[in-house]
Amino acid sequence: MMEIPKDVEIEANGSLIVVKGKNGKIERSFSGRGLKIERKGDKIEVTGGDGGNMLARTVEAHIKNMFRGVTEGFSRKLQVVHSHFPISVEVKGDKVFIKNFIGEKRPRVAKIVKDTKVEVKGVEVFVSGPDKEAVGQTAANIYSATKIRGKDSRVFQDGIYLIE
C-alpha cells in the first residue's frame, strides 16, 4: 500500500491508471499478468500477478514516477555541439528540426513523444513534461537524430548531447 499525494487525483479502473495533477495527466495500462490495482481511500494497493511481489513493486515504482511527474515534472537538458557547420534547431508541432547538420541540405527530424515540451535557447535544448518515459524518449530521439555514420567520430564530434 502506498499513499496518494494530496494534490493528485487518481482513477484506477482494473489495469488502467489515470493520474492527474498540476503538470498534466498521465494514463498508463498495466494489463496482463494477473495484476490487481485497487484504490482504498487515500491509498492505492498493487497485488498479485504472475511475477508475484516483484512485479507488484515494479508497478508501484511506475505509479510513484507518475505521481512525481504530475506534481514536479521531469526534465532533461541537451547541448548543441558543432565544429564544422553551425547547427540550427527549431521546434514545429510534434517534431524537432535540426538544420545544416554537418552541411546536409535536408534537416534531420526528431519526434516529440506525447505531452513533452521542447524549448531551444541558444545552444541548449530543454525537454520537459510529466511522463518520465516520454521525456527520456524525446531526448533520446533528438540525440539519435544527430548520429554520424560513415565518418570518423573522433573528427566529427558534432551533435546534440545530453548534459543533465
What is the spatial order of strands in the sheet that 117-121 belongs to? Answer: 117-121, 124-129, 74-81, 159-162
* Topology agreement, domain 2-71 and domain 74-162: yes
pLDDT digits (tens, 9 = 90+) for 10-49: 988 877 899 999 999 999 988 767 788 888 888 988 887 6
The candidate with the shortest Cα–Cα distance to 130, out of 81, 60, 66, 79, is 66
CATH class label, 74-162:
alpha beta
pLDDT range class, residue 83, cuts 50, 70, 90: confident
Can you tell me the distance from the alpha carbon of 117 to that of 109, in angstroms, rounded to the nearest whole number?
16
User: Cell digits for 85?
Assistant: 557547420
Lowest mean per-residue pLDDT among 2-6, 53-57, 91-95, 97-101: 53-57
pLDDT at 50 > cutoff 80: no
Angle between helices 53-71 and 132-145 (to 10 degrees): 80
Contacts of 47 (CB under 8 A, 6+ apart): 35, 36, 38, 56
The candidate with the shortest Cα–Cα distance to 152, out of 102, 88, 89, is 102
pLDDT range class, residue 51, cuts 50, 70, 90: low
Higher pLDDT, 149 or 72: 72
pLDDT confidence of residue 32: 67
pLDDT at 62 > cutoff 80: yes
Start-to-end C-alpha separation, the chain: 33
pLDDT confidence of residue 121: 95
How many CA atoms, within 13 angstroms, populate the side-chain half-sphere of residue 73? 12
Domain boundaries, the chain: 2-71, 74-162
CATH 3.90.930.12 at 2-71, yes or no: yes
What mean pLDDT do residues 63-90 have?
Answer: 94
pLDDT confidence of residue 46: 85
What mean pLDDT do residues 96-106 have?
Answer: 94
Tell me the whole-structure pTM to 2 decimals. Answer: 0.89
| Secondary structure class of 17 (helix, strand, coil) | strand
pLDDT digits (tens, 9 = 90+) for 102-148: 899 999 999 999 899 999 999 999 999 999 999 999 999 999 999 98
